[in-house]
Structure 1
């Protein structure tokens, strides 16, 4: 770019520096806090993390109340679009479709980083294309995450899945650079016929917030109203694809060998059914539903546990599992999707649906303090490879590459 010249009758022309501004990143997403799910949490951490590193960050998302509004939240300019309740989900909202050209032109972003291909994502991508803004796209989507909310019968899910992947490919093929959280998630896209190269970039976790605690666990359990006994923890939505009924049904077998309890952090449409199941099989007093726990209190929730369990079968990475690992917890996880990449010497995998196998692996960890300590240390070591600062730095490199 040419530099303007300053001149005077007696001095030679000198270069006057052109004022520069921080990189301006526009993030589009169909789910953002106060929504409670992995994609919303990741997008919030991405936006606030980029802002803390000196970027000028804007987010386009659905309004959490209905009317459109804009505000600065945690150092990020958040543009909330007019929304309506999502009839198939009790808490989420959907944006009313709209062209976003005027907003994109007003923001003048250097890059769009979209977190999905639904209403906000595709509208933002279309506006970015029309206005010459390069696009980075990150996939958090699997059709399995939608089936229960859309009430699609099991007999139609295979066909519905193919249609969903076809729609995904049509939209995301327009991006300049594509990422997804894990190598396995990238392979999944290739297996579904997506021909473009997809780069694995971990969602990353804040290793300074999530770390092992040396103190006895009684203090953390007391804060959540939990009895002071061995605790199996789950964090996430209490929804169908998390398969929490298997964890509840495993508990009676665990109780044959150890005095244990299950604590479930999160909300979802399966809670009432899980409460009925726990009562019916005689463990109603051993399954605790902690509900929504604010993000700032999550380190204490992990500090209350001895083992972390993740029986879900539709995880493209599982931020909750990574946070548990960073907190020094051994892990018992379903041998499904990306979870095997998170389990080495730090715990066990079990075959989805094998309740007896799940119980055996939980029992092995709960009855052997030395094994539990070794697995916890291994969890922390594995988590150190997922530092979110490294992920943020890689995204900044990608933004520079597509901008060139």
Structure 2
């Protein structure tokens, strides 16, 4: 594997970045922090969480926050304002003179950075975290228009990705999806990665972790993520209601989202309001304790290109019960570290939860296998692979420039 001869200058562009709460934003933050920790000079260009533009040094990462405005229907998130964006990005490129640019989407800020970088002869890596399903609820797209809107969105994504020098996705399933949508070039699957040291088994701390969040000390099913439509959390609440007659179980939901009010109402209607706990936003430093409080992780989502939360749960040593949809089957080996169920089938989800909760010995076996599988997604491996990609592209770029200069001479 190629290793950089000197620290690289890397500019990462993302249309979402903490404090935004989503998988793409978290991945981008961990990528930036991880590269900086390995000695590289890392700058991030992203929307300002305050509105006004500013530059701040956050640890070893320099953040260039561009002027932003609230996203309609999403008061907790902001988007970079197009007016003046191109010039701002061009100035950042000129000052940093990066070896490589890594964009995280095909949306406005990332797209502008990609094109400015190409115009400056800087190689570009694009990682796709996009699925139309994740946008329908946010943009309030009517169900009757979702198929057409999704087709247009994919076409736009494929067109922008074709301008990058190297395209990656978090999983082979995500790469396959992109190919199915018409992307004809090579796509490399590089896991988002997981910090195995931060998320590790701590079964002995379970009662203490529950007490930290004010939870009763009983069997606990956990989900971490946005409480939005595509996550299908209503299926998990319905499943919990079916497990309660047999098990003294509860469901813990860590995250915020558009459907919280509906989900609370559903829990009340099913008679399990006292067994469904909404923790709201959990600070990143406390997130490992959420998994430590659980006996099993359940995810009914149908729109996961990898699912960082599932990886975190697996790294913590939790069995996983997941919908057999998108990339989740790549993480769950049936009967080894958990079980799959057909999307929307809350009856089978309940049955799978009862299977896991019914035997402590079985639960421990499944959890050990989860941790074993999670090791394959060690974030150090992902960082090394991105380093190798950057170094190769940097070398190819230098070679092209030398050849062009020779031709001019």
In 1, the alpha carbon distance for the partners of 2:59 and 2:155 equals 36
User: How far apart are 1:21 and its partner, in Å?
Assistant: 6.0
Q: What residue is the counterpart of 2:405 in the other structure?
A: none
User: Which residue of 294, 316, 341 maps to 1:305?
Assistant: 294
The answer to whether 1:373 aligns with 2:364 is: yes
Q: What residue is the counterpart of 2:406 in the other structure?
A: none
In 1, the alpha carbon distance for the partners of 2:386 and 2:92 equals 23
Greater Rg over alpha carbons, structure: 1
Q: What residue is the counterpart of 1:81 in the other structure?
A: 66
In 2, the alpha carbon distance for the partners of 1:254 and 1:194 equals 44
CA 364–87 in structure 1, closer or farther in 2 if over 3 Å, else same: same
User: How far apart are 1:216 and its partner, in Å?
Assistant: 4.6
User: How far apart are 1:152 and its partner, in Å?
Assistant: 1.1
SS at match of 2:157: helix
SS at match of 2:250: strand
Q: What residue is the counterpart of 1:217 in the other structure?
A: 206
The answer to whether 1:337 aligns with 2:322 is: no
Q: What residue is the counterpart of 1:12 in the other structure?
A: none
SS at match of 2:252: strand
Q: What residue is the counterpart of 1:6 in the other structure?
A: none
Farther-moved stretch of structure 1 (152-161 vs 225-234): 152-161
Q: What residue is the counterpart of 2:158 in the other structure?
A: 169
The answer to whether 1:49 aligns with 2:34 is: yes
Q: What residue is the counterpart of 1:403 in the other structure?
A: 394
Q: What residue is the counterpart of 2:315 in the other structure?
A: 326
In 2, the alpha carbon distance for the partners of 1:73 and 1:227 equals 37
SS at match of 2:215: coil
Matches within 5 A, 1:143-154: 143-154=132-143
SS at match of 1:257: coil
In 1, the alpha carbon distance for the partners of 2:59 and 2:209 equals 27
In 1, the alpha carbon distance for the partners of 2:192 and 2:146 equals 28
Matches within 5 A, 1:4-403: 22-97=7-82, 98-99=85-86, 100-344=89-333, 345-403=336-394
Stretches of structure 2 that go unaligned for 5 or more consecutive residues are: 396-409
Stretches of structure 1 that go unaligned for 5 or more consecutive residues are: 1-19
Larger relative helix fraction? 2
In 1, the alpha carbon distance for the partners of 2:299 and 2:59 equals 30
**Conserved? CA contact 2:251–2:275, under 8 Å:** yes
User: How far apart are 1:74 and its partner, in Å?
Assistant: 2.4
Q: Deviations over 1:180-199 (max 9, x none)?
A: 00000000001111111100
SS at match of 1:92: strand
In 1, the alpha carbon distance for the partners of 2:73 and 2:97 equals 35
In 1, the alpha carbon distance for the partners of 2:159 and 2:175 equals 16
In 2, the alpha carbon distance for the partners of 1:241 and 1:292 equals 18
**Conserved? CA contact 2:45–2:64, under 8 Å:** yes
SS at match of 1:91: strand
Farther-moved stretch of structure 1 (212-221 vs 378-387): 212-221
SS at match of 2:76: coil
In 2, the alpha carbon distance for the partners of 1:103 and 1:38 equals 26
TM-score (structure 2 length as normaliser): 0.93
How many residues get paired? 385
